[in-house]
């Protein structure tokens, strides 16, 4: 199904945003509701379900935090995320230096965390049962951990030298966090440990010669602005402005040396790519200019380029129940990429000219003589 993803002519997503779309998230409970965040601060909530049951339909916007809303973000929304355990709450963070916790039903902020610098990325653990920490990457090199229960932002992870562009909790270990920074480094942390840092990923697996001028333990030769665990948490995929994507063993920290070729990445901020779920093999969907590149995660093969946006693609999100992809772009559109289920009849063949048995398989002669097979 993933190999046959195409821009679906029968499904639209209602166009609400008047500026570029930076971030998308589909709630993991039902896989039905999607959030989007725009560069004008607007947040929209969509229902992806086809309630009309018609073959062609538009995913409707249920509500939005628009420009006239008293609590709207003042600048670009960079990350939206549903609370992982129910749809009653979602989170958003912005270049206005705020992280907001929203009550979905009232569209009012239940809490606001304010930071000293631009917020590039935040993430809540999809599996945590013993903590309610939101990891936040900002213009500061310090990674902030905000506690939803206490409403305080006391915990800080120190080790990066420059701004933190992407953060992601492990889907396997609830206390393990990965962070990616403009200092070319990716760090894994156990947030229970005093020192925090478990390891700093090294693209050369410790085999770099001492004579080299390159700094030790860099994950990329440039800013690392994309970070994503595979769904089983065993591997970590990173993207850097060195136009490289790397796959790491998340328990050993080893670079698996999968070669994805040149992965063009001109983003000056976090790059929101995604990985399929429930497919074999797994695929990575990576914004690539105005297209989305689809790679096999473990062999590095570029399978296809999904083209349909008119401008830079900023984010994409995977819907695992139906193996669908949604993408958001600077062109203000959200596009739905759905597996093509039927072979279309070529336009030059009208139904009438087809032999009768092709129209109804019940009348078709399924026997074949061995002479024809030869």
Q: Is pLDDT above 60 for 350?
A: no
Q: What confidence category does residue 154 fall into, taking pLDDT thresholds of 50, 70 and 90?
A: confident
Check residue 356 and give left, alpha or beta (phi > 0: left; psi -120 to 50: alpha).
alpha
Q: How many percent of the chain have pLDDT more than 90? A: 76
- Give the Cα separation of 28 and 231 in Å (integer): 12
Assigned CATH for 2-339: 2.130.10.10
Tell me the backbone φ, ψ of residue 228, rounded to 5 degrees.
-155, 130
**E strand or H helix at 349:** none
CA angle 27, 79, 4 (to 5 degrees): 55
Any idea which of 25-34, 85-94, 266-275 has the lowest mean pLDDT? 266-275
CA angle 73, 265, 95 (to 5 degrees): 15
Beta bridge partners of 82: 90
SS3 (DSSP) at 361: helix
**E strand or H helix at 359:** helix 356-359
Average pLDDT of the segment spanning 28-54: 94
pLDDT of residue 9: 83
Any idea which of 52-61, 220-229, 291-300 has the lowest mean pLDDT? 52-61
- Give the Cα separation of 255 and 194 in Å (integer): 26
Residue bearing tokens 């947040």: 43
- Give the Cα separation of 71 and 96 in Å (integer): 12
pLDDT in tens, 83-126: 999 999 999 999 999 999 999 999 999 999 999 999 999 999 99
Is 179 within 8 Å of 143 (Cβ atoms)?
yes
Is 228 within 8 Å of 272 (Cβ atoms)?
no
Average pLDDT of the segment spanning 229-253: 96
Q: What confidence category does residue 365 fall into, taking pLDDT thresholds of 50, 70 and 90?
A: very low
**E strand or H helix at 372:** helix 370-373
- Give the Cα separation of 148 and 91 in Å (integer): 11
Check residue 371 and give left, alpha or beta (phi > 0: left; psi -120 to 50: alpha).
alpha
Q: Is pLDDT above 70 for 366?
A: no
- Give the Cα separation of 219 and 269 in Å (integer): 17
DSSP structural state of residue 255: B
The mean predicted confidence, pLDDT, of the chain is 89
In this structure, how many other beta carbons lie within 10 angstroms of the beta carbon of residue 51? Answer: 8
pLDDT of residue 354: 45
pLDDT of residue 210: 54
Is 17 within 8 Å of 38 (Cβ atoms)?
yes
- Give the Cα separation of 209 and 40 in Å (integer): 47
- Give the Cα separation of 254 and 313 in Å (integer): 30
DSSP structural state of residue 332: S
* Residue 344 exposed, middle or buried by CB count within 10 Å (0-12, 13-18, 19+): exposed
pLDDT in tens, 168-204: 999 999 999 999 999 999 999 999 987 779 999 999 9
Any idea which of 46-60, 86-100, 219-233, 292-306 has the lowest mean pLDDT? 46-60
* Beta-sheet pairing, 224-229 with 197-200: unpaired
Measure Cα distances from 156 to 162, 257, 314 in Å.
15, 32, 29
* Beta-sheet pairing, 164-169 with 176-181: antiparallel
- Give the Cα separation of 236 and 89 in Å (integer): 27
* CB-facing half-sphere around the CA of 205: CA atoms within 13 A: 9
Q: In what order do the strands lie in the sheet with 89-94?
A: 77-82, 89-94, 98-103, 108-114
Q: In what order do the strands lie in the sheet with 197-200?
A: 164-169, 176-181, 186-190, 197-200
């Amino acid at each position: 199904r993933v190999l046959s993803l195409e821009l679906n002519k029968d499904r639209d997503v209602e166009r609400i945003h008047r500026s570029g779309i930076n971030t998308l998230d589909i709630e993991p409970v039902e896989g039905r509701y999607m959030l989007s965040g725009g560069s004008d601060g607007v947040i929209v909530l969509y229902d992806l379900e086809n309630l009309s049951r018609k073959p062609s339909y538009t995913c409707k916007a249920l509500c939005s935090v628009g420009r006239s809303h008293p609590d709207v973000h003042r600048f670009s929304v960079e990350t939206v995320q549903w609370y992982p355990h129910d749809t009653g709450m979602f989170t958003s963070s912005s270049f206005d230096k705020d992280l907001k916790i929203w009550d979905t039903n009232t569209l009012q902020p239940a809490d606001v965390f304010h930071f000293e610098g631009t917020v590039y990325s935040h993430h809540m653990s999809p599996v945590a049962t013993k903590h309610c920490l939101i990891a936040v990457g900002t213009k500061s090199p310090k990674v902030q951990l905000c506690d939803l229960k206490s409403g305080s932002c006391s915990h800080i992870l120190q080790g990066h030298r420059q701004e933190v562009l992407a953060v992601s909790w492990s889907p396997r270990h609830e206390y393990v966090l990965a962070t990616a920074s403009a200092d070319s480094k990716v760090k894994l942390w156990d947030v229970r440990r005093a020192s925090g840092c478990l390891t700093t990923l090294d693209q050369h697996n410790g085999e770099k010669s001492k004579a080299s001028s390159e700094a030790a333990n860099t994950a990329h030769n440039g800013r690392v602005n994309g970070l994503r665990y595979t769904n089983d948490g065993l591997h970590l995929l990173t993207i850097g402005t060195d136009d490289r994507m790397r796959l790491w063993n998340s328990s050993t920290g080893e670079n698996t040396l999968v070669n994805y070729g040149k992965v063009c990445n001109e983003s000056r901020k976090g790059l929101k790519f995604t990985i399929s779920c429930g497919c074999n093999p797994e695929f990575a969907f990576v914004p690539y200019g105005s297209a989305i590149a689809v790679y096999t995660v473990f062999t590095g093969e570029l399978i296809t380029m999904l083209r349909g946006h008119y401008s830079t693609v900023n984010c994409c999100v995977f819907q695992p129940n139906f193996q669908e992809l949604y993408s958001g772009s600077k062109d203000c559109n959200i596009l739905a990429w759905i597996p093509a289920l039927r072979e279309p009849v070529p336009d030059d063949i009208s139904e009438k000219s087809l032999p009768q048995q092709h129209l109804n398989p019940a009348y078709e002669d399924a026997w074949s003589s061995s002479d024809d097979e030869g």
